[in-house]
Every structure is written in C-alpha cells, then in structure tokens.
Amino acid sequence: MEINPINITKDSKIYIAGYRGMVGSAIWRALSKAGYTNLVGKSSKELDLRNQQSVKSFFAEEKPDAVIDAAARVGGILANRDYPYQFLMENLQIQNNLIDEAKKAGVEKFIFLGSSCIYPKLAPQPLKEEYLLTGPLEPTNQWYAIAKIAGIKACESIREQYGWDYVSLMPTNLYGPNDNFDLKTSHVLPAMIRKFHEAKAAGHTPVTLWGTGSPLREFLHVDDLARAVVFALENRLEDHLYNIGTGTDLTIKALAEMIQDITQHKGEILWDSDKPDGTPRKLLDVSKINQQGWQAQISLEEGILSTYQWFLEHIEELKEVKL
C-alpha cells in the first residue's frame, strides 16, 4: 500500500515515550537541537504505559502528531534470565497500549524502537532485516525479543492496512550518557566501565568478566541512534523495518581491553567461562538504512571515552540511587 506522506514541522507535537531513559533522553536532545519546539514527555509516575486506560486518556488530552516509542523494560543476560515474565508481559503491555491508542487517535506517524535480539541466534552474519522469524531465538533474551517482534508486526500491519507511516528501527547494542550502570541489570559495556573504574579505585584489583571473551558484538552510541530517529521522523522511509548500527564489530575481549585502557585500569582481566557467552555473533547489516541516507558517525573509542567522562561526572548521584 502507498504510504501517506506526513507533514511533520518544527512545531508538530511529538510524544517521546520513555523520554527519561538513555534512548529517550538522547532523542529529546537531538530533536531539540534540530529545532523541534513541541516535545511531550511523561515520567512513569505521571503516566503508567502498562495501564491501557491511562494511555487512552493521555492520547485524548495531548493529541500528538507523531509518537516515538523509546519506552521498554530492558536489561542484560542476568536480568532477562531472572525476570522472563516481566520482560515479556511489561513490554507487550507498553507497546500494545501505545500502538493501539495511537492508531485509535489517528496518529499517522509512529516510530517503534526495538533491538537486534529479534533475530535468530544462529542467523547468517551480518543480520539482514529479512532474517526475522527464520529460526530460534537466543534463549537468554527470547522474552524481550518476542515482545519486540510483536511490536514490529503490529506496526507493519497498520502500515499495510491503513497506509500510515509506522516504521520500526532495530538498533544494535547501545551505550552512552544516562546508561544503566547497575551491575545486576546493565548491559555489557556500561557494566565494564563501572567494573574497571571500581577496580582501579580499589588499587587496580583484578576484574572478572562473564564468559570467554570470544563473542563478537557491535556497539552504537545512543546519539547516533537519536539521529536515525530524527531522520525517520523527517523522511518517509520505503520499508517498515530498518537495522540501525555501525556495520562493524569486535570481540568482547577487545572491548574489555579498550575500556581498560580508557579507564586506565592496570590490573588483571579474568574470564569466568562457567558463565554464558550469549549469541556468538550479532552484527547488523545496515546497508538498507545507509541507502536511505543515514549512517553512524561516532567511533567506538570516542563514544566510550565520552561515556566514561559522563559516568565520572555523575558518579555521586549514581551512588545515591544505588546503581
């Protein structure tokens, strides 16, 4: 179906769900920098996105012109393993309420954010968009992945049935300012920053990391993702699903050594091979979004350095909230 062009202007009302998180706050910064003046955000205390009636009332009151869904329950291998029901159900509730109420309210521009974990564990590398639903998922994050796949299909069905510009962006592993540095629930890169920093502060004690260090991973600075969201907002993309990444990866061991160097930790790195590695490799094919006119700009070393600086600037408040 032909997708209706949506006229988004600098004063269009744009609702950013999850605007206080790492992704949402980066999108808010990017849109503000681009001159958008009518941004709407609600904290989870102000608006519980798991509550259908609350979301319905929000749309009736605010009447946004476009919605960016950066709200989700997220976490690393440990959090996904320990809370499978919450990762499945809460993400389904959040996205179903947002997508359905946006559709009912006549919102014709919707950007849904997911994750590269939607792809099969052993899919060919690099991962292309067409590999979705071609094989079993990685067991350690299947609950989150299934929820996100449902969101992608919901947006695709609205695009097919109504001709509205509902598009899904699947970023690779993200990092940057406002990341989660809680060792129990964080992803690998911020967890390493904290571990190496604390080990340095304790006299360069050894740092123990999960797995063997052999899996390959791709990392994207959250400000690059935010630029991709602005790009998707301002353009009518040809398809409903796009990978967002750098197109390059490195081993977890190489990542650890880079972070060790940036944090100036001089101690030993120990690998706990009894702990799971997760997916062997997870590199995105980003040729589709590159052909549309977007590509990543921030190098990994530059991005980790700025993220570590942010961590150091906010370390006292991070301690206060016991992250």
Does 248 carry a binding-site annotation? no
Exactly one of 15, 119, 144, 175 is catalytic; which is it? 144
Tokens of 127: 């991962």
Does 173 carry a binding-site annotation? yes
Phi, psi of 310 (to 5 degrees): -65, -45
Distance of alpha carbon 174 from alpha carbon 280, whole angstroms: 18
Does 24 carry a binding-site annotation? yes
Phi, psi of 106 (to 5 degrees): 80, 20
Nearest to 1 by CA among 166, 244, 230, 114: 166
At 316, which amino acid appears?
E
Residue listed under structure tokens 């301002």: 234
Does 186 carry a binding-site annotation? no
Does 113 carry a binding-site annotation? yes
Does 148 carry a binding-site annotation? yes
Q: SS3 for 80?
A: helix
Q: Give the burial string for 179-189 (b: 16+ CB within 10 Å, else e).
A: bbbbeebbbbb
Does 171 carry a binding-site annotation? yes
Does 172 carry a binding-site annotation? yes
Does 282 carry a binding-site annotation? no
Does 164 carry a binding-site annotation? no
Burial class of residue 43 (count of CB atoms within 10 Å of its CB; 0-12, 13-18, 19+): exposed
Does 151 carry a binding-site annotation? no
> 249: Cβ–Cβ under 8 A, 6 or more apart, which residues?
216, 217, 218, 281, 282, 283
Q: CA dist 229 to 64, 67, 220, 267, 281, Å? A: 17, 11, 13, 40, 25
Does 23 carry a binding-site annotation? yes
Does 255 carry a binding-site annotation? no
Q: Give the burial string for 78-98 (b: 16+ CB within 10 Å, else e).
A: bbbeebbeebbebbbbbbbbb
Pairing outcome for strands 14-17 and 173-175: unpaired
**What is the dihedral sign for C-alpha 71, 238, 12, 4?**
negative
Does 210 carry a binding-site annotation? yes
The continuous run of DSSP H or E covering 210 comes out as: strand 207-210
- Catalytic status, residue 83: no
Does 277 carry a binding-site annotation? yes
Give catalytic residue positions.
144
Detail the residues annotated as belonging to a binding site for substrate.
195, 210, 217, 277
Detail the residues annotated as belonging to a binding site.
18-24, 113-116, 148, 171-174, 187, 195, 210, 217, 277
Detail the residues annotated as belonging to a binding site for NADP(+).
18-24, 113-116, 148, 171-174, 187
